[in-house]
Structure 1
Amino acid sequence: MRFKKELDFVHLSKYFYIFSIALTVAGLIFLATFGLNYSVDFKAGSNVDISLSKNLNLDQVKTATSAIDVDHEPTISFGDQRVNIRYDEVLDEAQDEALKAEILKLDDKASFEINTVDTEMAKELARNAIYAVLISCLGIIIYVSIRFEWRFAVASIVALLHDAFIVVALFSIFRLEVDLTFIVAVLTIIGYSINDTIVIFDRIRENLRFGKQKTYEDLKHLVNKSVAQTLMRSLYTAFTVFIAAFFLLLFGGESIKMFSLAMVIGLLFGAYSSIFIASPLWLVLKKREKVKVKSSPNKG
Structure 2
Amino acid sequence: MRFNWNFDYVKGSKIAYAFSIILTIAGIISILALGLNYAVDFRAGSNVDITVSKAITTEQINPIVKDLGVDEGDVQITTGADRVNVRFSNELDENQESKFKQEFTKLDPTASYEVNTVDPEMAKELERNAIYAVLIASIGIMIYVAIRFEWRFAVAAVVSLFHDAFVVISVFSIFRLEVDLTFITAVLTIVGFSINDTIVIFDRIRENMRFAKKNTKADLREVVNRSLAQTMTRSLNTTFTVFVASLCLFIFGGESIRMFSLAMVIGTLFGAYSSIYIAAPLWLALKGKQTEKPKAAAKASN
Q: TM-score range by the shorter chain?
A: over 0.9
Q: Which residue of 2 aligns with 1:243?
A: 244
| Shift of residue 71, structure 1, vs aligned partner | 3.1
Are the equivalent residues in 1 in contact too, given 2:66–2:72 (CA < 8 A)? Answer: no
Q: Which residue of 2 aligns with 1:179?
A: 180
Separation (CA, whole Å) in 2 of partners of 1:122 and 1:289: 47
Are the equivalent residues in 2 in contact too, given 1:214–1:293 (CA < 8 A)? Answer: no
| Shift of residue 58, structure 1, vs aligned partner | 1.8
Q: Which residue of 1 aligns with 2:82?
A: 81
Q: TM-score, normalised by structure 1?
A: 0.95
Are the equivalent residues in 2 in contact too, given 1:13–1:276 (CA < 8 A)? Answer: yes
Residue-by-residue CA offset, 1:238-268 (whole Å, 9 max, x unaligned): 1100000001111111111100000000001
Q: Which residue of 1 aligns with 2:291?
A: 290
Q: Which residue of 2 aligns with 1:47?
A: 47
Query: RMSD of the TM alignment (CA)?
Result: 1.3
Q: Which residue of 2 aligns with 1:206?
A: 207
| Shift of residue 79, structure 1, vs aligned partner | 2.9
Residue-by-residue CA offset, 1:178-211 (whole Å, 9 max, x unaligned): 0000000000000000001000000000000111
Any residues of structure 2 matched to 1:56-135 within 5 Å, and which?
56-73=56-73, 74-135=75-136
Consecutive aligned runs of 4 or more in structure 1 exceeding 3 Å deviation: 293-297
Identity level (%): 61
| Shift of residue 212, structure 1, vs aligned partner | 1.9
Are the equivalent residues in 2 in contact too, given 1:44–1:118 (CA < 8 A)? Answer: yes
Q: Which residue of 2 aligns with 1:274?
A: 275
| Shift of residue 232, structure 1, vs aligned partner | 1.0
Aligned AA (2:37): N
Are the equivalent residues in 1 in contact too, given 2:65–2:72 (CA < 8 A)? Answer: no
Aligned AA (1:71): D
| Shift of residue 6, structure 1, vs aligned partner | 3.6
Aligned AA (2:291): K
Q: Which residue of 1 aligns with 2:30?
A: 30
Separation (CA, whole Å) in 2 of partners of 1:125 and 1:16: 34
Are the equivalent residues in 2 in contact too, given 1:46–1:87 (CA < 8 A)? Answer: yes
Aligned AA (1:24): T
Aligned AA (2:155): V
Residue-by-residue CA offset, 1:123-177 (whole Å, 9 max, x unaligned): 0000000000000011001100000000000000000100000000011101111
Are the equivalent residues in 2 in contact too, given 1:79–1:254 (CA < 8 A)? Answer: no
- Give the paired residue count: 293
Q: Which residue of 1 aligns with 2:254?
A: 253
Residue-by-residue CA offset, 1:18-57 (whole Å, 9 max, x unaligned): 0000000000001111110100000000000111121212
Separation (CA, whole Å) in 1 of partners of 2:149 and 2:63: 62
Whether 1:152 and 2:136 are equivalent positions in the alignment is no
For structure 2, list consecutive stretches of 5 or more residues without a partner in the other structure: none
Separation (CA, whole Å) in 2 of partners of 1:161 and 1:179: 19
Are the equivalent residues in 2 in contact too, given 1:43–1:118 (CA < 8 A)? Answer: yes
The range that moved more, 76-85 or 19-28, is 76-85
Q: Which residue of 2 aligns with 1:233?
A: 234
Q: Alignment partner of 2:40: what SS? A: coil
Q: Alignment partner of 1:41: what SS? A: helix
Separation (CA, whole Å) in 1 of partners of 2:214 and 2:149: 18
Separation (CA, whole Å) in 2 of partners of 1:66 and 1:285: 61
Q: TM-score, normalised by structure 2?
A: 0.95
| Shift of residue 80, structure 1, vs aligned partner | 3.0
Q: Which residue of 1 aligns with 2:9?
A: 9
| Shift of residue 64, structure 1, vs aligned partner | 2.4
Separation (CA, whole Å) in 1 of partners of 2:222 and 2:43: 51
Separation (CA, whole Å) in 2 of partners of 1:217 and 1:185: 38
| Shift of residue 293, structure 1, vs aligned partner | 4.3
Aligned AA (1:105): K
